Amino acid sequence: MNIWKPADCVKAPVIFYIHGGAFQGGCGNEKHFDGKKYAERGIIFVTCNYRLGPFGFCSLPELAARDGYTGNYGLFDQLTAFQWLSHNIENFGGDPSNITLMGQSAGAMSIQQLCASPLAKDHIARAIMTSGGGISDAFGTYIPAEQAYPFWKDVTAKLGGGLEDWVKADAKVLLATRLETAKQYENAIQYFSPVLDGRLICCDAQSVLRDKRQAKIPYIMGSTKDDMAADILAKMAREWTVLQSEQGMIPSYCFWFGRNLPGDDQGAWHSSELWYTIGMLENSWRPMTEWDYEISNRFLTYFANFAATGDPNGGTLPVWQPTTSLDSPIMVIDDHRFEMGDQPLNQIS
């Protein structure tokens, strides 16, 4: 874990950031993830690492027999880090009752599960999810752990057949075997992603929606203009914030990020917003402009306010209104504006 903190802070709000990477890659100390901008705003900022790929998301009946459940080891690493923060962050000057979960892509998808998990949801103060938060039948749905057994049994068989062979396998050999086996399966990524394990992830998406299983907290949700599934992710973010109002939960907030990053013609690609939401523009090779720094400064201030109080508003910032219906304006960020407005039509489905 990595911790950035204000000097001499007492009961400071905490942001716990979970990185993305399709549950296969990434780490908590990438160039984006430097929390000093939040520390300057009175917020303790924390990142972590967690097991990935076959090390974090293998599902085998032998493991279920040994542990009582299987799969989601990477999510349990996140949960353990969160629990550690709850028990220890006060020693760093933090408030254990005010921890905001924040993440993008697979990090946002992880937070979505933690916010519905009986093991975590009662201890989360707020959540910020970008480039991957929300619920949809078309994206981010998970199979029961048992459906992943045949895939992982095939991997294990190539390594020698027994669980001990899997445990003792060289890391490079295990990664190569997983990739080789995946070629034989359609949509193989579902086998090395989170699964319904009956312990951390206990219900499918529709049950969460129907039974109000999510944490009763304020959420900030966002998506980017040129994501891989831009329309789906934009709809997921908006609908999740609307759901909080419809179910009588706590007002929540939505944004749409359409800033075309300078330096190439790739637009606002998947997770591009995190340069701005964490504030590390100086770590990027891109020729960032004054407008880019203004976007980042606003994001940082909104998010720091949100982590402190559950409301992003304050000071001289334009008012960020909660998203209470599908017709509500949301915060729109593009090459010329950072203000409440309508989501561009080609990004609404």
pLDDT per position as a tens digit, 85-123:
999 999 999 999 999 999 999 999 999 999 999 999 999
> Are the CB atoms for 24 and 192 separated by under 8 Å?
yes
- What are the average pLDDT values for consecutive 10-residue runs of the chain, which has 349 residues? 96 97 92 93 97 94 93 97 97 97 96 95 96 81 92 92 86 94 92 93 85 94 94 93 95 97 96 95 95 98 98 94 95 96 64
Measured CA distances, 110 to 120, 127, 187, 195 (Å): 12, 11, 20, 11
> DSSP class of residue 308?
H
Superfamily of domain 2-142+197-347: Alpha/Beta hydrolase fold, catalytic domain (3.40.50.1820)
Tell me how far the alpha carbon of residue 122 is from its chain's centroid: 18
Helix, strand or coil, per DSSP, at residue 104? strand
Residue 343: per-residue pLDDT: 77
Share of the chain above pLDDT 90, in %: 84
Amino acid at residue number 65: A
Residue 162: per-residue pLDDT: 80
Residue 111: per-residue pLDDT: 96
Angle of the 106-114 helix axis to the 73-88 helix axis, nearest 10: 70
Q: How many CB atoms lie within 10 A of CB 70?
A: 25
Where are the strands (E) in the chain, listed by range? 2-4, 12-18, 44-47, 94-104, 126-130, 219-224, 253-257, 330-333, 338-341
2-4 and 44-47 as β-strands: parallel, antiparallel, unpaired?
antiparallel
- For residue 281, what are its two tokens? 């523009």
Sheet with 2-4, side-by-side order of all strands:
2-4, 44-47, 12-18, 94-104, 126-130, 219-224, 253-257, 330-333, 338-341
pLDDT per position as a tens digit, 308-332:
999 999 989 999 999 999 999 999 9
For 159, residues 6+ apart whose C-beta sits below 8 A from its C-beta are 165, 166, 169, 173, 174, 177
Residue 346: per-residue pLDDT: 53
Residue 161: per-residue pLDDT: 77
Residue 344: per-residue pLDDT: 73
Helix, strand or coil, per DSSP, at residue 30? coil
> Are the CB atoms for 204 and 194 separated by under 8 Å?
no
Residue 244: per-residue pLDDT: 95
Residue 334: per-residue pLDDT: 96
Distance, in Å, from the CA atom of 31 to the CA atom of 277, rounded to the nearest integer, reads 13
pTM reported for the whole predicted model: 0.95
pLDDT per position as a tens digit, 131-155:
998 988 767 678 999 999 999 999 9
Residue 167: per-residue pLDDT: 85
Q: Please state the domain extents for the chain.
A: 2-142+197-347, 148-192
Tell me how far the alpha carbon of residue 98 is from its chain's centroid: 18
